[in-house]
Structure 1
């Protein structure tokens, strides 16, 4: 499988596209005015303790107070890779852990999402190329993605000698095959960085950011170490030079893959990325066979509905349904990555009575999701025939970054019909007439509603005039949306 990264850098934003076999698979975006804060370390002040929720709100200097759960104060497993020996601990009462007015060092593990503030942990982790430093921890962990037992033991022995009272390390997947000198260099770098963080914390007397994570371009390079990349193309010469210096010092393996793209044609046009982004904002996703998906993202969960559409198959209905569902698993896995959909995901495959077909569809979905670097869990078919799964969510989805709520429908996705609005207007006139004494009424409304009142609803309007004994005048307001109207007394 061929894969490459495209970095489109402008003064206002950085966009990164992961292309696999010529197809866009992942999209990362960071705007200067709205940078993600996952990984940042803050000195925060406890503003409120909620025993009923076993949580506290922490002021870290952002617009919304951040959220710290009791389990995140004692958790030892906040890194983004599966780790050997990670265990769950029972969290004590939140009132025993923090109190209002207390200053506490915390790290962001989830960006603010919608109306929710950032999610925090006190279990600080600082990643580098090969290692993750965990202050105050005593054991050495190794990523489960390193399968060789001999290599795991070697890495443990190399890293264990750098453990001391300041903390311990977790060995990342990228460390497989790394030499002892490289691991030692990473360990020294992380300890030095931690020392600087502690010094800044001691000097601080209020809510302040103590350590800021790398910008998107550098994080992508750091996180894709070990990935099977053919090249990394950057369309900004200044960013290219920065990344070249960064990779030569920390990630030599990727330094040779970096390529400056000076072409006049926009870099995202090479693989039709701009059009793919636009398609990723649509509800409907067409399948090659003629079937399609309907993807709806809500506050509580994301739902995916699979339909056969124009696909009629070649043998029988059962085979048609099975083939459509199999094709849908590949498309669903790609859309989850591309749109960065997280949390609870419910998939409504076309109903299958054959248990072997169900098992093969689940296996196909699991295999397709294996390429996803974000953790996913598939819980199988429910009693209603729905597939329930979860995908770890640490940042906003592509839709939430690029779009905002419709000011007309307030996110409902539909408008009241012209007929409905007309009847609301008639009811409002009756209500106002009973409450106030007026000689006549003027109704200001949208063009389509005005036209309907004057034509289709003329008889109802005339009957109302007779009923209340007052004149009703209709006034068209071209700037009003379909649901907007005003009843004015004269």
Structure 2
């Protein structure tokens, strides 16, 4: 599969697009003013212990205190076998930490919405082929390496470098790598850990000891397992920096780097800008005429599938099945593109055929195999819904690019003009009963005042008769539809 990385760099923002077969699959954005925290290591200070939540708040120098759960204080990684994970049981948080205690912590999730960053004491340091686990004697191999012979070979090589500094996880990118490359990675990680340990001795509480790579370097490191045809960069300075980085750490990608001096923006090559705009919309059109509706909320993301204009060629059941199969490919792409994580509920069009249900689930699982974020899918529920989870570490594309609407405050809807008019009339009655006023002036948006002077003028007149006082309507052009003021004169 042909794949390209397009890197658009400016002094204030870096954007990376992964394009496969000419279609945008992933977008990563990092702004200098809001650098991501995932992977950073801090000397944290416990600011508050919450036994009722089995968690603690940790001060790492951020505006919001970070969150450390009891289960994140014991060693655990996704690559450790489940039987070995069972050995580690989270203890009582009050016995594990105390207020004012210094701890070495690492960010595993960026602050999301109103929540602070999530931390772990299970420190990991990634490089090209290996992940160092300080203080561990374990050697694991990524589950994506399927060949048993290759897994055993990699495990044997990595085991040679395990010492008091820690153990290793062998990454997917190491498949086929030689012993020399793995040894170089192991030495680099051990040197890095030694430097972090030295900094910790001199650091004060809340100091950052290690900052993960900038986006462009991190993506090149982590996308090593993807068969890339080209990595195009539109900044000469960043291109030269990446040349040095790749030459030292990912030499096999050296001939893939390419400086893009084109007159048109690099993101116009594969219509990336327009794809990003479409990824912010609720509705996703399918080629057949069907469509998806994607709604992202605080608790979960919901995906609804509809046949739309697709009428099929045979019968209703076949039409529904084909729409659902097509939707699985679109869902997998949209989850990656929008970077949606957490709980995801998919409402496929109801199917009666059990074989069709199995094939739709299998299609969704297969479509997600290219997604680097870990996900798990449950079977169809009694209500015909598919529940799934996708690992979330950074904010979604919508949260990065958008802010809450100042008019609806995140509801996604506005009260109708009629509703606002009746609220104003009730407010006038309430104020009239509480205070002695000669007359009232209502300041409202143009849409509301138009209705008061038109179709609802009789309601206004009736209220004037009811309270025996004059009511004047004043237009405020800068008011939103739901804004109004009732002033006593």
| Band of TM-score, shorter chain | over 0.9
In the superposition, relative to structure 1, how do residues 241 and 399 fare at CA in structure 2: closer, same or farther (>3 Å)?
same
**Hey, what's the Cα distance between the residues in 2 that align with 1:38 and 1:83?**
24
1:243-258 correspondence to structure 2 within 5 Å:
243-258=242-257
Say yes or no: does 1:209 pair with 2:193. no
SS at match of 1:186: helix
1:325-336 correspondence to structure 2 within 5 Å:
325-336=324-335
Question: Which stretch has the larger CA shift, 14-23 or 312-321?
Answer: 312-321
- CA displacement at 1:173 relative to structure 2: 1.3
SS at match of 2:33: helix
**Hey, what's the Cα distance between the residues in 1 that align with 2:111 and 2:97?**
22
1:471-486 correspondence to structure 2 within 5 Å:
471-486=470-485
Equivalent in the alignment of 2:26: 26
Deviations 1:420-461 (A, max 9, x none): 000000000000000000000000001110011111111111
**Hey, what's the Cα distance between the residues in 1 that align with 2:445 and 2:141?**
64
Asked if the contact 2:142–2:170 (Cα under 8 Å) also holds between the matched residues in 1, the reply is yes
TM-score between the two structures when normalised by the length of structure 2:
0.98
- CA displacement at 1:204 relative to structure 2: 1.3
- CA displacement at 1:85 relative to structure 2: 6.6
1:279-358 correspondence to structure 2 within 5 Å:
279-358=278-357
**Hey, what's the Cα distance between the residues in 1 that align with 2:84 and 2:439?**
75
**Hey, what's the Cα distance between the residues in 2 that align with 1:417 and 1:447?**
13
Equivalent in the alignment of 2:195: 196
1:30-429 correspondence to structure 2 within 5 Å:
30-77=30-77, 86-88=84-86, 89-429=88-428
SS at match of 1:221: helix
**Hey, what's the Cα distance between the residues in 2 that align with 1:156 and 1:339?**
35
SS at match of 2:204: coil
Asked if the contact 2:80–2:140 (Cα under 8 Å) also holds between the matched residues in 1, the reply is no
TM-score between the two structures when normalised by the length of structure 1:
0.98
**Hey, what's the Cα distance between the residues in 2 that align with 1:226 and 1:266?**
27
Aligned length: 488
Asked if the contact 1:82–1:144 (Cα under 8 Å) also holds between the matched residues in 2, the reply is no
**Hey, what's the Cα distance between the residues in 1 that align with 2:149 and 2:317?**
48
SS at match of 2:38: coil
- CA displacement at 1:181 relative to structure 2: 1.8
Asked if the contact 1:349–1:386 (Cα under 8 Å) also holds between the matched residues in 2, the reply is yes
**Hey, what's the Cα distance between the residues in 1 that align with 2:359 and 2:152?**
37
Asked if the contact 1:380–1:389 (Cα under 8 Å) also holds between the matched residues in 2, the reply is no
Q: What are structure 2's unaligned runs of at least 5 residues?
A: none
Q: What are structure 1's unaligned runs of at least 5 residues?
A: none
Asked if the contact 2:15–2:27 (Cα under 8 Å) also holds between the matched residues in 1, the reply is yes
Say yes or no: does 1:4 pair with 2:4. yes
Deviations 1:228-281 (A, max 9, x none): 111110001110111111011110111111111011111000100000000000
**Hey, what's the Cα distance between the residues in 1 that align with 2:461 and 2:144?**
76
**Hey, what's the Cα distance between the residues in 1 that align with 2:456 and 2:484?**
16
Question: Which stretch has the larger CA shift, 185-194 or 213-222?
Answer: 185-194
**Hey, what's the Cα distance between the residues in 2 that align with 1:223 and 1:410?**
37
SS at match of 1:275: helix
**Hey, what's the Cα distance between the residues in 2 that align with 1:329 and 1:69?**
34
Asked if the contact 1:159–1:169 (Cα under 8 Å) also holds between the matched residues in 2, the reply is yes
- CA displacement at 1:107 relative to structure 2: 0.2
SS at match of 2:17: strand
Question: Which stretch has the larger CA shift, 288-297 or 177-186?
Answer: 177-186
- CA displacement at 1:321 relative to structure 2: 0.8
- CA displacement at 1:171 relative to structure 2: 1.1
**Hey, what's the Cα distance between the residues in 2 that align with 1:255 and 1:398?**
30
**Hey, what's the Cα distance between the residues in 2 that align with 1:329 and 1:102?**
48
Deviations 1:96-124 (A, max 9, x none): 11100001010000000000000000010
Deviations 1:121-158 (A, max 9, x none): 00100011111101110121111222222222222222
- CA displacement at 1:83 relative to structure 2: 6.0
Equivalent in the alignment of 2:430: 431
Asked if the contact 1:441–1:487 (Cα under 8 Å) also holds between the matched residues in 2, the reply is yes
Q: CA RMSD in A?
A: 1.1
